[in-house]
Amino acid sequence: MKRILIVASCVSALAAPAFAQYPKSPRPAPPSGSTTGSPSPETPTKAKAAASATEGSLHRMTADKALMTAFAQSGYDGATMGRLGAEKASNADVKRFAQEMVDSRKQMNEDVKPMLKAQSVEPPTALAARHQASYDSMSKMSGADFDRAFVIEMASSCSNDVMMLQRASTMSRDEEVKAWATKALPGAQAQEQAAKDLMQKLIAAK
Protein backbone atom coordinates (compact mmCIF):
# COMPACT_ATOMS: atom_id res chain seq x y z
CA MET A 1 0.00 0.00 0.00
CA LYS A 2 2.85 2.40 0.91
CA ARG A 3 4.40 1.80 -2.51
CA ILE A 4 1.13 2.81 -4.26
CA LEU A 5 0.84 5.99 -2.21
CA ILE A 6 4.49 6.82 -2.82
CA VAL A 7 4.18 6.28 -6.60
CA ALA A 8 1.00 8.33 -6.81
CA SER A 9 2.51 11.14 -4.68
CA CYS A 10 5.70 11.22 -6.74
CA VAL A 11 3.81 11.49 -10.00
CA SER A 12 1.70 14.30 -8.56
CA ALA A 13 4.83 16.14 -7.49
CA LEU A 14 6.32 15.77 -10.96
CA ALA A 15 3.16 16.88 -12.74
CA ALA A 16 3.26 20.50 -11.56
CA PRO A 17 6.78 21.20 -12.89
CA ALA A 18 5.79 19.58 -16.16
CA PHE A 19 3.01 22.09 -16.66
CA ALA A 20 5.34 24.92 -15.65
CA GLN A 21 7.77 24.03 -18.43
CA TYR A 22 5.48 25.26 -21.17
CA PRO A 23 6.70 28.71 -22.31
CA LYS A 24 4.41 31.62 -21.64
CA SER A 25 3.26 33.62 -24.64
CA PRO A 26 4.72 37.14 -24.58
CA ARG A 27 2.18 39.79 -23.65
CA PRO A 28 1.82 42.37 -26.48
CA ALA A 29 2.75 45.92 -25.60
CA PRO A 30 -0.22 48.33 -25.34
CA PRO A 31 -0.66 50.77 -28.22
CA SER A 32 1.14 54.07 -27.85
CA GLY A 33 -0.88 56.53 -25.85
CA SER A 34 -3.24 53.96 -24.54
CA THR A 35 -3.80 53.42 -20.84
CA THR A 36 -3.22 49.99 -19.49
CA GLY A 37 -6.15 49.07 -17.30
CA SER A 38 -6.21 46.56 -14.50
CA PRO A 39 -6.67 43.02 -15.75
CA SER A 40 -10.03 41.45 -15.18
CA PRO A 41 -9.93 39.51 -11.90
CA GLU A 42 -11.95 36.77 -13.62
CA THR A 43 -9.24 35.87 -16.15
CA PRO A 44 -6.45 34.63 -13.84
CA THR A 45 -9.04 32.85 -11.71
CA LYS A 46 -10.36 30.90 -14.70
CA ALA A 47 -6.83 30.06 -15.86
CA LYS A 48 -5.86 28.86 -12.40
CA ALA A 49 -8.99 26.73 -12.13
CA ALA A 50 -8.36 25.16 -15.54
CA ALA A 51 -4.74 24.37 -14.63
CA SER A 52 -5.81 22.84 -11.32
CA ALA A 53 -8.44 20.71 -13.04
CA THR A 54 -5.91 19.45 -15.58
CA GLU A 55 -3.32 18.64 -12.94
CA GLY A 56 -5.95 16.95 -10.75
CA SER A 57 -7.11 14.80 -13.67
CA LEU A 58 -3.51 13.74 -14.39
CA HIS A 59 -2.94 12.88 -10.73
CA ARG A 60 -6.10 10.75 -10.51
CA MET A 61 -5.30 8.94 -13.76
CA THR A 62 -1.75 8.24 -12.62
CA ALA A 63 -2.93 7.02 -9.19
CA ASP A 64 -5.25 4.48 -10.85
CA LYS A 65 -2.42 3.39 -13.13
CA ALA A 66 -0.15 2.88 -10.11
CA LEU A 67 -2.90 0.90 -8.42
CA MET A 68 -3.39 -1.41 -11.40
CA THR A 69 0.37 -1.88 -11.69
CA ALA A 70 0.43 -3.02 -8.07
CA PHE A 71 -2.48 -5.42 -8.60
CA ALA A 72 -0.80 -6.91 -11.66
CA GLN A 73 2.43 -7.44 -9.75
CA SER A 74 0.60 -8.96 -6.79
CA GLY A 75 -1.26 -11.37 -9.05
CA TYR A 76 1.93 -12.47 -10.79
CA ASP A 77 3.86 -12.84 -7.53
CA GLY A 78 1.04 -14.71 -5.78
CA ALA A 79 0.69 -17.23 -8.59
CA THR A 80 4.45 -17.80 -8.76
CA MET A 81 4.85 -18.20 -5.01
CA GLY A 82 1.75 -20.41 -4.91
CA ARG A 83 3.26 -22.79 -7.44
CA LEU A 84 6.35 -23.07 -5.27
CA GLY A 85 4.18 -23.88 -2.26
CA ALA A 86 2.11 -26.47 -4.13
CA GLU A 87 5.34 -28.16 -5.19
CA LYS A 88 7.31 -28.09 -1.92
CA ALA A 89 4.78 -28.07 0.93
CA SER A 90 4.80 -31.16 3.14
CA ASN A 91 1.61 -30.29 5.03
CA ALA A 92 -1.59 -31.22 3.15
CA ASP A 93 -3.39 -28.05 4.31
CA VAL A 94 -0.50 -25.88 3.17
CA LYS A 95 -0.33 -27.64 -0.18
CA ARG A 96 -4.08 -27.12 -0.67
CA PHE A 97 -3.83 -23.46 0.33
CA ALA A 98 -0.92 -22.96 -2.08
CA GLN A 99 -3.00 -24.29 -4.95
CA GLU A 100 -5.83 -21.95 -3.96
CA MET A 101 -3.35 -19.08 -4.16
CA VAL A 102 -2.36 -20.15 -7.66
CA ASP A 103 -5.98 -20.37 -8.81
CA SER A 104 -7.10 -17.09 -7.25
CA ARG A 105 -4.12 -15.14 -8.55
CA LYS A 106 -4.55 -16.56 -12.03
CA GLN A 107 -8.13 -15.33 -11.92
CA MET A 108 -6.96 -11.93 -10.71
CA ASN A 109 -4.51 -11.73 -13.60
CA GLU A 110 -7.29 -12.47 -16.09
CA ASP A 111 -9.66 -9.99 -14.46
CA VAL A 112 -7.23 -7.08 -14.57
CA LYS A 113 -5.99 -7.61 -18.14
CA PRO A 114 -8.56 -5.26 -19.76
CA MET A 115 -7.96 -2.63 -17.07
CA LEU A 116 -4.20 -2.88 -17.49
CA LYS A 117 -4.63 -2.30 -21.20
CA ALA A 118 -6.87 0.69 -20.56
CA GLN A 119 -4.22 2.18 -18.25
CA SER A 120 -1.37 1.30 -20.66
CA VAL A 121 0.23 -0.99 -18.09
CA GLU A 122 2.36 -3.91 -19.26
CA PRO A 123 1.82 -7.17 -17.30
CA PRO A 124 4.85 -8.09 -15.15
CA THR A 125 7.20 -10.85 -16.23
CA ALA A 126 9.30 -11.18 -13.06
CA LEU A 127 8.81 -11.27 -9.32
CA ALA A 128 9.06 -8.07 -7.32
CA ALA A 129 12.43 -7.79 -5.57
CA ARG A 130 11.01 -8.57 -2.12
CA HIS A 131 9.19 -11.67 -3.30
CA GLN A 132 12.18 -12.79 -5.35
CA ALA A 133 14.28 -12.75 -2.18
CA SER A 134 11.62 -14.76 -0.35
CA TYR A 135 11.31 -17.19 -3.24
CA ASP A 136 15.08 -17.78 -3.34
CA SER A 137 15.22 -18.29 0.41
CA MET A 138 12.25 -20.67 0.58
CA SER A 139 13.50 -22.68 -2.39
CA LYS A 140 16.29 -23.91 -0.11
CA MET A 141 13.88 -24.95 2.68
CA SER A 142 11.92 -28.13 3.15
CA GLY A 143 9.44 -29.80 5.47
CA ALA A 144 7.86 -27.86 8.33
CA ASP A 145 10.32 -24.97 7.96
CA PHE A 146 9.16 -24.39 4.42
CA ASP A 147 5.49 -24.73 5.34
CA ARG A 148 5.72 -22.09 8.06
CA ALA A 149 7.79 -19.65 5.98
CA PHE A 150 5.46 -20.03 3.01
CA VAL A 151 2.25 -19.46 4.97
CA ILE A 152 3.69 -16.45 6.79
CA GLU A 153 4.72 -14.94 3.46
CA MET A 154 1.30 -15.62 1.93
CA ALA A 155 -0.56 -14.21 4.94
CA SER A 156 1.35 -10.95 4.49
CA SER A 157 0.65 -10.96 0.74
CA CYS A 158 -3.08 -11.58 1.28
CA SER A 159 -3.28 -8.73 3.82
CA ASN A 160 -1.64 -6.40 1.33
CA ASP A 161 -4.14 -7.42 -1.36
CA VAL A 162 -7.05 -6.71 0.99
CA MET A 163 -5.71 -3.24 1.77
CA MET A 164 -5.27 -2.44 -1.93
CA LEU A 165 -8.75 -3.68 -2.78
CA GLN A 166 -10.31 -1.68 0.04
CA ARG A 167 -8.60 1.45 -1.23
CA ALA A 168 -9.54 0.79 -4.85
CA SER A 169 -13.18 0.02 -3.99
CA THR A 170 -13.64 3.39 -2.31
CA MET A 171 -11.11 5.77 -3.88
CA SER A 172 -10.53 4.75 -7.50
CA ARG A 173 -11.80 7.26 -10.06
CA ASP A 174 -12.11 4.52 -12.67
CA GLU A 175 -15.56 2.98 -12.30
CA GLU A 176 -14.47 -0.34 -13.82
CA VAL A 177 -11.58 -0.65 -11.37
CA LYS A 178 -13.84 0.35 -8.50
CA ALA A 179 -16.51 -2.23 -9.41
CA TRP A 180 -13.96 -5.02 -9.82
CA ALA A 181 -12.27 -4.22 -6.50
CA THR A 182 -15.62 -4.20 -4.70
CA LYS A 183 -16.50 -7.60 -6.17
CA ALA A 184 -13.07 -9.13 -5.44
CA LEU A 185 -12.75 -7.83 -1.86
CA PRO A 186 -14.85 -10.48 0.01
CA GLY A 187 -12.92 -13.36 -1.57
CA ALA A 188 -9.60 -11.69 -0.72
CA GLN A 189 -10.70 -11.17 2.88
CA ALA A 190 -11.71 -14.84 3.18
CA GLN A 191 -8.33 -15.93 1.80
CA GLU A 192 -6.52 -13.58 4.18
CA GLN A 193 -8.35 -15.12 7.13
CA ALA A 194 -7.61 -18.65 5.89
CA ALA A 195 -3.91 -17.78 5.68
CA LYS A 196 -3.88 -16.37 9.21
CA ASP A 197 -5.73 -19.39 10.61
CA LEU A 198 -3.31 -21.76 8.90
CA MET A 199 -0.35 -19.74 10.14
CA GLN A 200 -1.57 -19.96 13.73
CA LYS A 201 -2.12 -23.70 13.35
CA LEU A 202 1.43 -24.26 12.12
CA ILE A 203 2.97 -22.07 14.82
CA ALA A 204 1.02 -23.90 17.53
CA ALA A 205 2.21 -27.25 16.18
CA LYS A 206 5.88 -26.23 16.27
**Structural domain contains residue 72:** yes
**Structural domain contains residue 112:** yes
**Count of alpha carbons within 13 Å of 107, Cβ hemisphere only?**
11
**Structural domain contains residue 21:** no
**Structural domain contains residue 19:** no
Its domain, for residue 116, covers: 59-204
DSSP result, 75-111: HHHHHHHHHHHHHH--SHHHHHHHHHHHHHHHHHHHH
CATH code, 115 = 1.20.1260.10
For the entire predicted model, the pTM comes to: 0.68
**Structural domain contains residue 198:** yes
Nearest to 148 by CA among 195, 87, 78: 195
What is the chain's pLDDT, residue by residue, as a tens digit (206 residues)?
Answer: 333 333 334 334 433 333 333 334 444 454 554 444 444 454 555 545 444 444 444 345 578 888 889 999 999 999 999 999 999 999 999 999 999 999 999 998 998 899 988 888 889 999 999 999 999 999 999 999 999 999 999 999 999 999 999 999 998 888 999 999 999 999 999 999 999 999 999 988 87
Domain count across the chain? 1
d(CA 199, CA 151): 6
